[in-house]
Amino acid sequence: MCAHPTSASARTRPTIYDVASRAGVSKSLVSLVLRDEPHVSDARRQAVLEAIEELGYRPSRAASALASQQTRSVGVLIDDFRNPWFVELLAGLRSVLDPAGYTVSVADLQLEAASGRNPVDGFLAQHVDTLVLAAEPRAELLRNIPVPVVVAGVRELGPAVLPRADVVAGDDERGGELATRHLLDLGHRRIGHVTGRGGPAAHRRKGYERAMTAAGLRPLVVGAGKGTSEQDGRSGALELLDRVPPVTAIVAANDVMAVGALAALRERGLKAPADVAVVGYDNSPLAAYGYLALTSVDPHSREIGAEAARTLLARLENPDAPRRYALIEPALATRPSTGPSRNGQIHEP
Amino acid sequence: MCAHPTSASARTRPTIYDVASRAGVSKSLVSLVLRDEPHVSDARRQAVLEAIEELGYRPSRAASALASQQTRSVGVLIDDFRNPWFVELLAGLRSVLDPAGYTVSVADLQLEAASGRNPVDGFLAQHVDTLVLAAEPRAELLRNIPVPVVVAGVRELGPAVLPRADVVAGDDERGGELATRHLLDLGHRRIGHVTGRGGPAAHRRKGYERAMTAAGLRPLVVGAGKGTSEQDGRSGALELLDRVPPVTAIVAANDVMAVGALAALRERGLKAPADVAVVGYDNSPLAAYGYLALTSVDPHSREIGAEAARTLLARLENPDAPRRYALIEPALATRPSTGPSRNGQIHEP
DNA sequence: TTGAAAGCGCTAACAT
DNA sequence: ATGTTAGCGCTTTCAA
């Protein structure tokens, strides 16, 4: 005797067996209905659905994972919960993953690293079906990952470290250009840039440099190799403000750094936008606070998330499809931090 | 023939069978070693550990969950990813849950609600062993939850809606008092409070009122029944500033609202702390930004998280233990937003 | 279109 | 201290 159908017992949650016997069908049929398979008669399907409803049946993820060898879960690695740009990314991911029946779990690289854990390993131990990388872990953490990877927002990782990964990223170079052009259009000429470590920052810097060069101006970049925190933004901005002559506008590599730049301005007795204009990047909730009111490049993170999710689903469907590499077009969200300056619209060097 | 030991095949991940045969023991012995059971000889244990290492074996969570009927995972429900107070709470939770071998998954109530999902249900579908509530979902979502619940930071939920839940919360009443006393000590007399919906806000308000009354002053509260966003903070603060005579200090129900208050000040041409002092609550990353530099009540969220996790583990250990109700003592983090005011230290009504 | 039966990889009760 | 064995609740051939 191998099989021992569970009887509909009193205490325990109903199982597929209970549903089956209540609907007067076999367990297999219930399984088919659950997964929306086409070849089931309407009558049976109806009966099963009713039984499910009446019993309040909920399939066991563990059992289904064990039997099917897939968890229907995806791990999302973000950089730092304190930098709120990830919120929209997550919303976008879930908007398509949820309807598809996938669970998403999130980890914060900073937090994991701080406690000496390996977040990628953690996800693999959970047996996620796939990994979304919205951060840049050290390359050694990414050695032979046995599941598909989608890089979201950090295209640097794509070709180099993870040759097989799909990439859906914001066009950060374009974004850096947008920010700088906006300042140029406002009449600024001495525009400085505070950059930092990492792929996104590098692309944003490149965009800034391209726009400056195109306008016949010399790029002025600080913070290369440093971090991307508020403090880094502040010290970079101070450096720019202390140049002679000082800058009249600052492009920061992200919103948090832009907030740091605002602090630097105040320390020097200056105001944005009257004395110095400031532009951030990410269009995070931070930028929208009335007190900060930062003009910021909007990478359309929600769309990046949704597209990354679609890519991931497609990849799961077809593991051998050619690698996807999508760049989402950013836009500029204009706010008072680049409003009219003290000297009218025109800044001369 | 019922049993079919998996042979160590080429493609598939190693299983407990592979480890067992490699170590020359039975599967059960491996299982015992994995779970650190005491009664295993050192020799065997060593052999098993080596086999695990050599094979790169990773236990299957699905299988173990199915067999043991527990997932070793906990669901954490926070209110809103955009309000960064949760970061430390999470860090605290993980600091004790990780070593205990528990996985934590996080959901954002706002996000879930926005997409019409039921986050509690989502967690239950994942079969989390227990739920941590760091938010206040509508009561109907909390009807007969079949797993232990720990309320972290939102003690309002405790006795009322979830009579059986353990509670580990910040002493928000004490915190509101701390904030207000600080202002009183600075010489302020016309101190207004911007509150909002929800348990934490209610307790903080009560603390504010207590401190005011104790000082022989009339409490001045706005925003009751409204939200707790930056915009709510701003409009509440505007209301306080437009009183005649206007307030000289504002206690906000959280940091995000305090940032809103700063915006309100600027709209009225006022500055903090010179014209009006501002205190936030949560001591979130926001408060520490140089440009905001908010004095803020620190609820010790990390400690709350760690204590909540310990409580949870204890509850899992002993389901019938008496209900735990712990209040963590807050502290005040002093920053420039309550620095010396324009008129010296003394504010007369 | 539906059912029977054999596992998925592990745990736990029981034997030894 | 270690091995045997029967499931956990589902998926998935394979037959019918």
Does residue B252 sit at the A interface (CB-CB below 8 Å)?
no
Q: What is the dihedral of CA A195, A201, A202, A203, to 10 degrees?
A: -130
Closest CA-bearing residue to C1' of C2: A29
Query: Which residues have C-beta within 8 Å of that of residue A193, sequence separation ≥ 6?
Result: A176, A180, A205, A208, A209, A219, A220, A221, A222, A250, A251, A252, A253
**Spatial contact of B137 and B77, defined as CB atoms under 8 Å apart:** yes
Longest dimension (CA), chain B: 90
Query: How do strand A295-298 and strand A331-333 relate by DSSP bridges?
Result: antiparallel
Which CATH class for the A172-299 domain?
alpha beta
Strand C nucleotides within a 7 Å radius of protein CB atoms = 1-13
What are the sequence ranges of the domains in chain A?
A: 16-59, 71-171+301-329, 172-299
Pairwise CA distance, residues A26 & A33, whole Å? 11
Query: Which tokens hold the place of A76?
Result: 């999302």
CATH of B71-171+301-329, one of 3.90.1150.10, 3.40.50.880, 3.40.50.2300, 1.20.210.10: 3.40.50.2300
Question: Could you read off the pLDDT of B235-275 as tens digits, one per residue?
Answer: 999 999 999 999 999 999 999 999 999 999 999 999 989 99
User: Residue ranges of chain B with pLDDT lower than 70?
Assistant: 1-12, 157-160, 341-349
**Spatial contact of B205 and B212, defined as CB atoms under 8 Å apart:** no
The amino acid at B23: A
Q: What is the pLDDT of residue B315?
A: 93
CA geometry: angle A141, A143, A146, nearest 5 deg = 110
Pairwise CA distance, residues B146 & B130, whole Å? 9
Q: What is the pLDDT of residue B255?
A: 98
**CB proximity B7–strand C (7 Å threshold):** no
Q: What is the pLDDT of residue B170?
A: 95
Pairwise CA distance, residues A199 & A80, whole Å? 15
Pairwise CA distance, residues A183 & A111, whole Å? 36
pTM, full prediction:
0.88
Closest CA to A313 of A31, A93, A158: A93
Pairwise CA distance, residues B19 & B30, whole Å? 7
Nearest CA to CA, how far is A85 from chain B (Å)?
Answer: 9
Strand runs labelled E in A136-268: 149-152, 166-170, 191-194, 221-222, 249-252
Pairwise CA distance, residues B303 & A274, whole Å? 43
Please report, in tens digits, the pLDDT of each residue of chain A (349 residues total). 333 344 433 446 788 888 888 888 888 888 888 887 777 888 888 888 888 888 888 888 899 998 888 899 999 999 999 999 999 999 999 999 988 889 888 999 988 888 888 889 888 888 899 999 999 888 888 887 889 999 998 887 656 678 889 999 999 999 999 999 999 999 999 999 999 999 999 999 999 999 999 999 999 999 999 999 999 999 999 999 999 999 999 999 999 999 999 999 999 999 989 999 999 999 999 999 999 999 999 999 999 999 999 999 999 988 889 999 999 999 999 999 998 765 444 444 3
Closest CA-bearing residue to C1' of C11: B67
Query: Which residues in chain A are contacts of B273 at CB distance < 8 A?
Result: none
H/E segment holding residue B222: strand B221-222
Query: Which residues have C-beta within 8 Å of that of residue A225, sequence separation ≥ 6?
Result: A196, A197
CATH number for region B16-59: 1.10.260.40
Contact between chains at B259 and A65 (C-beta distance less than 8 A): no
Closest CA to B142 of B126, B118, B125: B118
**Spatial contact of A252 and A283, defined as CB atoms under 8 Å apart:** no
Q: What is the pLDDT of residue A131?
A: 95
Nearest CA to CA, how far is B82 from chain A (Å)?
Answer: 6
Pairwise CA distance, residues A232 & A257, whole Å? 7
Query: Which residues have C-beta within 8 Å of that of residue A126, sequence separation ≥ 6?
Result: A71, A73, A75, A105, B61, B103
Query: Which tokens hold the place of A9?
Result: 């017992």
Nearest to A71 among B62, B90, B91 (CB): B62
Q: Tell me the three state secondary structure of residue A190.
A: coil
Nearest CA to CA, how far is B202 from chain A (Å)?
Answer: 24
- How far is residue B282 CA from its own chain's centroid? 10
**Spatial contact of B92 and B305, defined as CB atoms under 8 Å apart:** yes
Is residue B299 exposed (0-12), middle (13-18) or buried (19+ Cβ within 10 Å)?
Answer: buried
**CB proximity A29–strand C (7 Å threshold):** yes
Closest CA-bearing residue to C1' of D8: B67
What's the CA B23/C1' D1 distance, rounded, in angstroms? 16
Give rounded-to-5 percent helix, strand, coil for chain B. 45, 15, 40
Q: Please tell me which residue of chain A has the smallest CA distance to B74.
A: A105
Inter-chain CB pairs, A–B, below 8 Å: 115
Looking at the DSSP bridge assignments, the partners of residue A74 are A104, A130
**Spatial contact of B249 and B208, defined as CB atoms under 8 Å apart:** no
Assess whether the region A71-171+301-329 and the region A172-299 belong to the same CATH fold.
Answer: yes
Pairwise CA distance, residues A267 & A275, whole Å? 13
Which residues in chain A (261-320) have CB-CB distances under 8 A to chain B? Answer: 262-263, 266-267, 285, 289-292
Query: How do strand A277-281 and strand B103-108 relate by DSSP bridges?
Result: unpaired
Q: What is the pLDDT of residue B205?
A: 98
Nearest CA to CA, how far is B172 from chain A (Å)?
Answer: 23
Which residues in chain A (128-167) have CB-CB distances under 8 A to chain B? Answer: none
Q: What is the pLDDT of residue B341?
A: 63
Q: What is the pLDDT of residue A338?
A: 95
Query: Which residues in chain A are contacts of B259 at CB distance < 8 A?
Result: 289, 291-292
Nearest to B94 among A87, A111, A262 (CB): A111
